[in-house]
Amino acid sequence: MGTEGMLRAENTLFTAAMIVYFAAMILYFVFISAKRDKLAKAAFAVQAAGFILHTAALVCRGIGAGRLPLTNQYEFATSFAWGLCLVSLIFVWKYKFQVLGAFSVPVVFLIIGYAAMQSKEVKELMPALRSGWLGFHVSTAIIAYGAFGVSFVLSIIFLMRDKMKDQSFMGRHVPDKEKLDMISYRSVALGLLFLTFTILTGAIWAERAWGSYWSWDPKETWSLVTWIIYAVYLHLRLRKGWKGRSAAIFAVIGFICVMFTYVGVNTLLPGMHSYG
Amino acid sequence: MSPIKKIWKFISSMQFAIILLVLLAIVCSIASFVTQGQTYAWYAQAYSERTAAVIVALHLDDAFHSWWFIVITGFLCVNLLLCNILKFPQNLRRMKNAGDAEKHLSVNGDVQAEDIREPEKLFAKLHFGKITKGSGEEYLFAAKNSAGYWGAWVCHLGILLVILGFGLGQMTKQTYTAYGVPGQSRAIGDTGYIITIDDFTIGHRADDTVEQYTSAITVRDAASGRSEQAEISVNNPASVFGLRFYQNSTGWAAKVHVDKDGEPLQDEIVCAGDYLRVKGKEDLVIYLNAFYPDYVLQEGVGPQTASSEIKNPAYLYSVYYMDRMLGMNALLEKEELKIDEYTVTFSEPQSFTLIQIKKDHFTWLALVGGLVTMLGLILAFYMQPAQMWALKQENGLWTIHGRSRKGGAIFREQFLEEATNGKE
What CATH number should be reported for the domain holding residue A148? 1.20.120
> Quick one: A119 and A145 in the same domain?
no
Answer yes or no: is B367 within a domain. Answer: no
Number of structural domains (chain A) is 2
Q: Which of A80, A108, A124 is where one domain is finished?
A: A124
Under a CB-based contact definition with an 8 Å cutoff, are residues A87 and A190 in contact? yes
- Predicted TM-score (pTM) of this structure: 0.88
Q: Which of B89, B117, B136 is where one domain is finished?
A: B89
Q: Residues 244 to 273 of A: which have CB under 8 A from any B CB?
A: 265, 268-269
> Quick one: B330 and B256 in the same domain?
yes
Q: Which of B53, B70, B89 is where one domain is finished?
A: B89
Of A176, A190, A225, the CB nearest to B29: A225
Render pLDDT for B146-198 as a digit per residue (tens, 0 to 9): 999 999 999 999 999 999 999 999 999 999 999 999 999 999 999 999 999 99
* Domain coverage including residue A174: 128-276
> Quick one: B192 and B335 in the same domain?
yes
Residue A274 has pLDDT above 70, yes or no: no
Render pLDDT for A35-63 as a digit per residue (tens, 0 to 9): 888 899 999 999 999 999 999 999 999 99
> Quick one: A162 and A251 in the same domain?
yes
Q: How far is residue B77's CA from residue B163's CA, in Å, rounded to a whole number? A: 8
Burial of residue B79, with CB atoms counted within 10 A of its CB: 0-12 exposed, 13-18 middle, 19 or more buried: buried
> Quick one: A142 and A197 in the same domain?
yes
| Among A168, A164, A187, A162, CA closest to A244 | A162
Residue A275 has pLDDT above 80, yes or no: no
Q: How far is residue A254's CA from residue A260's CA, in Å, rounded to a whole number? A: 10
Provide the residue type at A233 as one letter.
Answer: Y
Q: Residue A276: pLDDT band by 50, 70, 90 thresholds?
A: very low
> Quick one: B116 and B182 in the same domain?
no
Q: How far is residue A273's CA from residue A258's CA, in Å, rounded to a whole number? A: 15
Q: Which of B58, B89, B120 is where one domain is finished?
A: B89
Q: Does A227 touch chain B (CB under 8 A)?
A: no
Render pLDDT for B100-123 as a digit per residue (tens, 0 to 9): 888 888 888 889 998 888 888 889
Q: Do A209 and B374 make contact, defined as CB atoms within 8 angstroms?
A: no
Residues 6+ apart with CB under 8 A from B175: A211, B356, B357, B358, B359
Which CA distances in Å does A257 have to A148, A245, A264, B173, B317?
Answer: 10, 19, 9, 32, 46
The residue count for chain A: 276
Residue B3 has pLDDT above 90, yes or no: no
Q: Does A199 touch chain B (CB under 8 A)?
A: yes
Answer yes or no: is B237 within a domain. Answer: yes
> Quick one: B270 and B396 in the same domain?
no
> Quick one: A203 and A231 in the same domain?
yes
The residue-averaged pLDDT of B400-405 equals 90
What was the pLDDT predicted at B285?
Answer: 95
Q: Residue A271: pLDDT band by 50, 70, 90 thresholds?
A: low
Measured between beta carbons, which residues in chain A are less than 8 angstroms from residue B234? Answer: 127-128, 130, 209
Residue A270 has pLDDT above 70, yes or no: no
What was the pLDDT predicted at B105?
Answer: 85
What was the pLDDT predicted at A272?
Answer: 60
Burial of residue B66, with CB atoms counted within 10 A of its CB: 0-12 exposed, 13-18 middle, 19 or more buried: middle
> Quick one: B224 and B330 in the same domain?
yes
CA angle A93, A96, A102 (to 5 degrees): 85
Under a CB-based contact definition with an 8 Å cutoff, are residues B328 and B322 in contact? no
> Quick one: A118 and A155 in the same domain?
no
Answer yes or no: is B197 within a domain. Answer: yes
Of B29, B64, B413, the CB nearest to A216: B64
Q: Choose, out of A131, A134, A221, the residue to mutate when testing the contact with B (most B CBs < 10 Å).
A: A221
> Quick one: A92 and A143 in the same domain?
no
> Quick one: B20 and B39 in the same domain?
yes
Residue A24 has pLDDT above 90, yes or no: yes
> Quick one: A158 and A275 in the same domain?
yes
Q: Which of A79, A109, A124 is where one domain is finished?
A: A124
> Quick one: B185 and B53 in the same domain?
no
Answer yes or no: is B366 within a domain. Answer: no
Render pLDDT for A163-217 as a digit per residue (tens, 0 to 9): 888 788 888 889 888 889 889 999 999 999 999 999 999 999 999 999 999 999 9
The residue-averaged pLDDT of A70-92 equals 93
Distance from CA of B117 to the nearest CA of A (A): 27
Of A211, A216, A222, the CB nearest to B237: A211
Render pLDDT for A113-145 as a digit per residue (tens, 0 to 9): 999 999 988 888 889 888 999 999 999 999 999
> Quick one: A152 and A262 in the same domain?
yes
Side-chain half-sphere exposure of A46, counting CA atoms within 13 A: 23
Q: Does A68 touch chain B (CB under 8 A)?
A: no
> Quick one: A146 and A246 in the same domain?
yes
Render pLDDT for B323-361 as a digit per residue (tens, 0 to 9): 899 999 999 988 999 999 999 999 999 999 999 999 999
Distance from CA of A115 to the nearest CA of B (A): 25
Helix, strand and coil in chain A, % to nearest 5: 80, 0, 20
Q: Residue B413: pLDDT band by 50, 70, 90 thresholds?
A: confident
Answer yes or no: is B155 within a domain. Answer: no
Q: How far is residue B387's CA from residue B98's CA, in Å, rounded to a whole number? A: 7
Chain B residue at shortest CA distance from A177: B409
Render pLDDT for B196-237 as a digit per residue (tens, 0 to 9): 999 999 998 888 788 999 999 999 999 999 999 999 999 999
Q: Choose, out of A193, A238, A259, A274, the residue to mutate when testing the contact with B (most B CBs < 10 Å).
A: A193
* Domain coverage including residue B84: 3-89
Under a CB-based contact definition with an 8 Å cutoff, are residues A6 and A60 in contact? yes
Q: Residue B424: pLDDT band by 50, 70, 90 thresholds?
A: low
Tell me how crowded residue B317 is: count the other CB atoms within 10 A of its CB.
24
Lowest pLDDT segment from A2-6, A66-70, A241-245, B358-362: A241-245
Q: Do A178 and B33 make contact, defined as CB atoms within 8 angstroms?
A: no
Of B25, B237, B373, the CB nearest to A229: B25
Q: Choose, out of A216, A237, A242, the residue to mutate when testing the contact with B (most B CBs < 10 Å).
A: A216
